[in-house]
Amino acid sequence: MKKINRLAIANRGEVAVRIIKACEELGIETVLLHSEADMGSRAYRLATKKICIGGAQTNQSYLNIPANIQGALASGADAVHPGFGFLSENADFAEAVEKAGLIFVGPSANSIRLLGDKISCKQLAAKAGLPLIPGYSGKDQSLDCLISEAEKIGYPVIVKAAAGGGGRGMKLIKNSTEAKELIESAQRESLSAFGSEQVFLEKYLDRAKHIEFQIFGDSSGRVVHLFDRECSVQRRHQKIIEEAISSSLSEDLRKKMGEAAVSLATLGKYKGAGTVEFLLQDGKFYLLEVNTRLQVEHSVTEMVLGVDLVKAQILTAQGDFIFKTQDHSPRGHAIEGRVYAENPYQGGIPSTGLLGHVSFPEGPGRRFEYGFESGDQITSFYDPMIAKVIVWDESRPRAIQKMIKVLEGSVIFGVHTNIPYLIAILKHPEFINGTMTTRFIENNFAEGLKVPALAEKEKILFEKVLSAHKPSLSLQDAQGGIKTNSPWNQSWRIL
Amino acid sequence: MKKINRLAIANRGEVAVRIIKACEELGIETVLLHSEADMGSRAYRLATKKICIGGAQTNQSYLNIPANIQGALASGADAVHPGFGFLSENADFAEAVEKAGLIFVGPSANSIRLLGDKISCKQLAAKAGLPLIPGYSGKDQSLDCLISEAEKIGYPVIVKAAAGGGGRGMKLIKNSTEAKELIESAQRESLSAFGSEQVFLEKYLDRAKHIEFQIFGDSSGRVVHLFDRECSVQRRHQKIIEEAISSSLSEDLRKKMGEAAVSLATLGKYKGAGTVEFLLQDGKFYLLEVNTRLQVEHSVTEMVLGVDLVKAQILTAQGDFIFKTQDHSPRGHAIEGRVYAENPYQGGIPSTGLLGHVSFPEGPGRRFEYGFESGDQITSFYDPMIAKVIVWDESRPRAIQKMIKVLEGSVIFGVHTNIPYLIAILKHPEFINGTMTTRFIENNFAEGLKVPALAEKEKILFEKVLSAHKPSLSLQDAQGGIKTNSPWNQSWRIL
Amino acid sequence: MIEAKKIKFHFDNHDYEALTQKIGSSVWVYFQGKTYSIPATDQNLKSRHKSKSANAGVTAILSPMPGKITKVLLSAGQNAEVGQVVIVMEAMKMEYTLKSELKAKIKKVMTKVGDQVALGQILIEFESSSNKAGEKK
Amino acid sequence: MIEAKKIKFHFDNHDYEALTQKIGSSVWVYFQGKTYSIPATDQNLKSRHKSKSANAGVTAILSPMPGKITKVLLSAGQNAEVGQVVIVMEAMKMEYTLKSELKAKIKKVMTKVGDQVALGQILIEFESSSNKAGEKK
């Protein structure tokens, strides 16, 4: 019921830009709560105000609750948007924001605790009668106990961060010999990314699709769903390509899963935008988890449904917006490709550096969300996702075709990106048929991409390019970049 | 039934770019048939092939039928897309294309003659029982006859090019003293723009809204409509701001007008994308004209309906696409602003020059169509429209708000643009209420924009800017540019 | 072509940033949603100003834009009335009529039908002491 | 930062255009939908190559990316097995394990937990005559 005039953003990168754009359109000023490392970023340049809240390390800034609260208060903001990742699913943060007299753009701390914590969520889901994946989510977090529970479930088993999301703090344990190492690794990643090392175990479903439902709750307690997305294309449990709506659901299944999502969210008194994730295997669906925040892939839902979820979040936080599900039906098909700063020819190894020329080929039904521009540094401190490319078209085959063209027309100089990897995925028959499971990458791209042979015209071009920049330089094919351990090993030269 | 592999574009500027993007997504190569003046343009850079068909003057190139045909044939194209303007509504061109064994992406020459010629269109519409505006459309085109017919109709009267569109070759005659001059002027403009000096006369409706229906015919002869657009914001009969769908139609009126549009197009055996334009005054609608081509403002229909009209045109020309009207219903609201290279502080006088920095603030629900980039020349040879800015949002008020923000974030250096003018229109109460008529500009912006007074911070900025570029320069407020006759008269200096 | 530059300044306790670029003889500035163009060749402007002052008795119709002359309605020695159309020109596919803003005798017609003319080019010279002449309709 | 440049070339009767930009010691090229990066400092590469050849008996694990060392599992004097995890590091919020590719004795550990390390920085030196060592999992 209270109009937001100035909104603080406790985040960075492309989602911070996304929130700034929404605020601009709503006539709301923005305050970027940023780390020392993010003064060369698009969000920094676009925000009305910016406040540095700490060092580059996430625990000093983006995961630092008091620093964020203090920054928001100092800036005169009346609301805080947590974006995704970082503190977005941290109930203590939501609580601290409200205690400071500010509006938290998201669900209540209580809802986050109930649904965001993977373990309590499973308990609630069990009450609501949702099908669950067999697993262990007990309080005993000792290594011995976790290992013995994993044995009981039977390998392969997944270990996950209870407070996690986005594939971080998540490991697939294939056999007992790697159990100890991977559980410890998951605990460390979880602590670093979410500030808690609690994990749980689940039986690994080895031919499942990842299907999720966008849910939205208004302030009156009414929850609707805004249809589904499919995110089966994952690597190391990190989504790479997402689509709306899934091409794998029958109308009956869509109805049942949507109802399950809404009933769980309603039980959790959910407010704002959230996502209920499922695995679908052999026609049966299982609750995976609930993300109590905006999702990276919210854009595909926006494009097929004609909604603006970020504006809806903000308007709901003000108390003046209600989604009516009957107004919405999906139209056409949308695909999102996450652009990671990594080298696809070296198994996705992170790539950092100074960004040079960056350009995206705009056009009808294309959307580009990015946090960094020419002259900005991509550092190793944060998530490697530097941009999202989203396309919409009238059908899935046309959307795939468009996405390939759009990725081929996207230019990023200064860091390696997974764009060639995304294109290879989009051209794979399994993806085109829509039959991919969460093991699609493992089954088809385990080896990463091979550096393609250079055509004669490319050799001539490179020679010309090098002589233009500096005469008498030798040439190394570095589409695959410098080879990790021996940069001189696999070079070739024009003689 | 024949797959198009290479498509020639008999056009330039942003529509050529629009067609190239559609072809890229369909896997079709493009050939730009361009004039000598257009080698520094975005379409030139994006097209697969380019063929220079003549000099800068339109009659040597873009209006030269043999040169276009020859260019298309030489390039190995199997189809020709005429875009809008130029030869797009020229039946002889459509015929020449087909005779050369190429596919014409558009209606048949016969349909163009029946519907595109304003006079025969009126005759057909009368048969179909559509309400017509009183006027004269006889064969006697002598000045004496036209003046006496104008007297009979009673001033104000509009004189229009029979082969015209887009406001060219169209003049409003308010009284008998200006009749001769304006009729002759319309004839000259018509000859220059469309290659024919035939004109007709219509009673001027002085409080009408411009409402038009997008129609689409498939190769089987089935015609559907894809809802309506409102384009009441016009200056010199040239559209400036367009919206979809109109906020002025009751469901009943929308149904009746849509049916009228479809019945007329069906009678004309219409194939592909076209537009039936109406005037709406005091709850009654009158046929204005039919545009037998893609419309500049097709983009707003695409955004509210979730269709791609250019791809639909091409697919229809191949014989493999059918629009099913029942699949489509409008969603949200879209607005287009045409960016003209002109000085809004000097009554819209054309502005030409070398483009410097050009950038548009991309974001969700925003679309930018432009034909020229940094380093390109805007010349006086062609239409002053250099870009289109299109936004979509969930409601009309939100779309207006977004459009203002987006225009404020658009930067074009090197030529003056009407962006301040567009913003002023979007903020006008009559536009916000949706009550504007085709006289909106005349009633509210007859004087053009006044150069706003400079704030102290702007003066300080300008001083700093000038000293950065060259010390000891004096300063002239040139937001209004150089004053036409006396560039030194109205300058001011920092002392 | 040189890229646009960012320029920062401080005023009244606030930091501001603008974008600027010199193109030909103008400096373009984008600041807070508005674009400005500032002539950067005052030398040139000053000299033209002076030469005009020196010939105060002569006024002219200058071309208000680059374009093509499509009609010249009066010739040297004829008198123009206030509001009378003297020149018709075409630019960007639109026709513009140039009317006389004063009652005066034409000294010289400096263009002809078909000419491509530049912005500011003298089209008609009057014999008159008035200093207002020629305005776009 | 200097803008990207267009480069034109002719091959097999076709004209081509590419986009290129030098950033640091690499030249980036965009051509026909693909992006390439080419090291532009062969002097540097050559000298490293030579120094490596000169010390063929020593191999090392280099950091495959910039990041933070979160675990060092072996110390100088210990033996690494093929496939054994030696270093764990974190970059861009993901954890990466560096395994030994050979059975060898560690000569020197040149990093410690908490270090921010650069791409190509030597982390572990082996005493061995093999020339393959350390690969990202």
pLDDT digits (tens, 9 = 90+) for D80-89: 888 788 898 8
Q: Which of B332, B368, B392 sits opposite A362 (nearest CB)?
A: B368
Q: Which residue of A has its CA nearest to D51?
A: A488
Q: What per-residue confidence (pLDDT) applies to A200?
A: 92
- Listing DSSP states for A285-348 in one string gives EEEEEEE-S--TTHHHHHHHHT--HHHHHHHHHHT-----GGG----SEEEEEEEEBEEGGGTT
CA dihedral C61, C66, C72, C76 (to 10 degrees): 40
Cα B179 to Cα B354: distance, rounded to the nearest angstrom: 39
Q: Which residues of A touch B311 (CB under 8 A)?
A: 398
D4–A408 CB contact, under 8 Å = no
Q: Which residues of D touch A413 (CB under 8 A)?
A: 4, 21, 23, 28, 30, 35, 37
Q: Give how far Cα A487 sits from Cα of A414, A477, B435, D42, D62, Å.
A: 18, 11, 68, 11, 11
Cα A91 to Cα A107: distance, rounded to the nearest angstrom: 9
Q: What per-residue confidence (pLDDT) applies to A98?
A: 97
Q: Residues 6 or more apart from B169 whose CB is under 8 A from it?
A: B160, B161, B163, B186, B187, B189, B190, B193, B194, B199
CB of B484 less than 8 A from some CB of C: yes
Nearest of A122, A96, A121 to residue A109 by alpha carbon = A96
Q: Scan for tokens 């912006």, then name that residue.
A: B445
Q: Which residue of A has its CA nearest to D5?
A: A357
Q: Which residues of D touch A446 (CB under 8 A)?
A: none
Which residue ranges of chain B lie beneath pLDDT 70? Answer: 1, 165-166, 321-322, 324-327, 470-495
Tell me the two tokens of residue A325.
Answer: 């599900």
The answer to whether A293 is a known catalytic residue is: yes
Q: What per-residue confidence (pLDDT) applies to B165?
A: 65
- Listing DSSP states for C22-33 in one string gives EETTEEEEEETT
A264 Cα to chain D: minimum distance (Å)? 30
Q: Which residues of B touch A (CB under 8 A)?
A: 18, 21, 24-27, 299, 302, 306-308, 311, 331-332, 360-365, 367-368, 392-394, 398, 401-402, 405
CB of B408 less than 8 A from some CB of C: yes
The amino acid present at D107, given as its one-letter code, is K
Looking at per-residue confidence, does A4 or C100 come out higher? A4
Q: Which residues of D touch A58 (CB under 8 A)?
A: 93
Cα A401 to Cα A367: distance, rounded to the nearest angstrom: 15
Q: Which residues of B touch C29 (CB under 8 A)?
A: 461-462, 465
Q: Which of A27, A302, A362 sits opposite B362 (nearest CB)?
A: A362
Which of C47, C92, C130 has the highest number of chain B CBs within 10 A, making it the mutation to test binding with B?
A: C92
Instruction: Please tell me which residue in B12, B254, B293, B338 is annotated as part of the active site.
Output: B293
> Residue B152's CB: how many other CB atoms inside 10 A?
12
Nearest of A382, A481, B208 to residue D64 by alpha carbon = A481
Q: Which of D18, D21, D49 sits opposite A356 (nearest CB)?
A: D21
Q: Is the peptide bond before A119 cis (omega within 30 degrees of 0)?
A: no
B464–C7 CB contact, under 8 Å = yes
Burial of D88 (0-12, 13-18, 19+ CB in 10 A): buried
Which residue ranges of chain A lie beneath pLDDT 50? Answer: 471-495
B299–A331 CB contact, under 8 Å = no
Angle at B341 between CA B30 and CA B213, to 5 degrees: 65
Element (H, E) at A23: helix A13-26
The SS3 assignment for B285 reads: strand
The interface pTM score, or ipTM, of the predicted complex is: 0.81
What is the b/e burial string over A165-174, where b = at least 16 CB atoms within 10 angstroms of the residue's CB? bbbbbbbbbe
C70–B462 CB contact, under 8 Å = no
B365–A308 CB contact, under 8 Å = yes
Q: How far is CA A356 from the centre of its chain?
A: 24
Could you tell me if B180 and B147 are in contact, meaning their C-beta atoms sit under 8 angstroms apart?
yes
Q: What per-residue confidence (pLDDT) applies to A324?
A: 62
Instruction: Please tell me which residue in A18, A113, A254, A293 is annotated as part of the active site.
Output: A293
Helix, strand, coil distribution of chain B in percent, nearest 5: 35, 25, 40
Q: Which residues of B touch C100 (CB under 8 A)?
A: none
Q: Which residues of A touch B (CB under 8 A)?
A: 18, 21, 24-27, 299, 302, 306-308, 311, 331-332, 360-365, 367-368, 392-394, 398, 401-402, 405, 409
Could you tell me if D30 and D53 are in contact, meaning their C-beta atoms sit under 8 angstroms apart?
no
Tell me the two tokens of residue B430.
Answer: 């009559």
A476–D42 CB contact, under 8 Å = yes
Q: Give how far Cα D71 sits from Cα of A63, B47, D74, D77, Å.
A: 22, 54, 9, 18
Tell me the two tokens of residue A158.
Answer: 């997944």
Cα B232 to Cα B210: distance, rounded to the nearest angstrom: 5
A103 Cα to chain B: minimum distance (Å)? 23
- Average per-residue pLDDT in chain D? 77
B/C interface, count of CB pairs below 8 Å: 176
Q: Where are any strands of DSSP class E within B194-283?
A: 199-203, 209-217, 223-235, 238-244, 272-281
A18–B393 CB contact, under 8 Å = no
Could you tell me if B402 and A25 are in contact, meaning their C-beta atoms sit under 8 angstroms apart?
yes
Q: Which chains touch B (3 or more CB pairs under 8 A)?
A: A, C
Could you tell me if A262 and A223 are in contact, meaning their C-beta atoms sit under 8 angstroms apart?
yes
Q: Which of B302, B364, B367 sits opposite A21 (nearest CB)?
A: B364
Could you tell me if A196 and A207 are in contact, meaning their C-beta atoms sit under 8 angstroms apart?
no
> Residue C8's CB: how many other CB atoms inside 10 A?
10
Q: Order of strands across the sheet with B199-203?
A: B135-136, B199-203, B157-165, B168-173
List, for residues A374-384, the tens digit of each pLDDT value. 999 999 889 89
Long-range contacts at B48-54 (CB < 8 A, ≥ 24 apart): B48/B6, B49/B6, B49/B75, B51/B8, B51/B75
Could you tell me if A83 and A9 are in contact, meaning their C-beta atoms sit under 8 angstroms apart?
yes
Q: Which residues of D touch A464 (CB under 8 A)?
A: 7, 9
Cα C32 to Cα C16: distance, rounded to the nearest angstrom: 9
Q: What per-residue confidence (pLDDT) applies to A136?
A: 93
Angle at B185 between CA B180 and CA B188, to 5 degrees: 130
A411–D40 CB contact, under 8 Å = no
- Listing DSSP states for B77-101 in one string gives -SEEE--SSTTTT-HHHHHHHHHTT
Q: What per-residue confidence (pLDDT) applies to C59?
A: 77
Q: Which residues of B touch C1 (CB under 8 A)?
A: 354, 356, 374-375
B105 Cα to chain A: minimum distance (Å)? 20
Q: Which residues of A touch B26 (CB under 8 A)?
A: 401
- Average per-residue pLDDT in chain C? 77
Tell me the two tokens of residue A153.
Answer: 């479930």
- As a whole number of Å, the end-to-end CA separation of chain C is 36
A328 Cα to chain D: minimum distance (Å)? 37
Which residue ranges of chain D lie beneath pLDDT 70? Answer: 1-2, 41-58, 128-137
Q: How far is CA B325 from the centre of its chain?
A: 25
> Residue B39's CB: how many other CB atoms inside 10 A?
14
Q: Which of B341, B460, B479 sits opposite C36 (nearest CB)?
A: B479
Q: What per-residue confidence (pLDDT) applies to B493?
A: 26
Q: Which residues of B touch A216 (CB under 8 A)?
A: none
**β-bridge mates for residue C114, sequence order:** none
Which of D49, D92, D130 has the highest number of chain A CBs within 10 A, making it the mutation to test binding with A?
A: D92
Cα A88 to Cα A273: distance, rounded to the nearest angstrom: 12
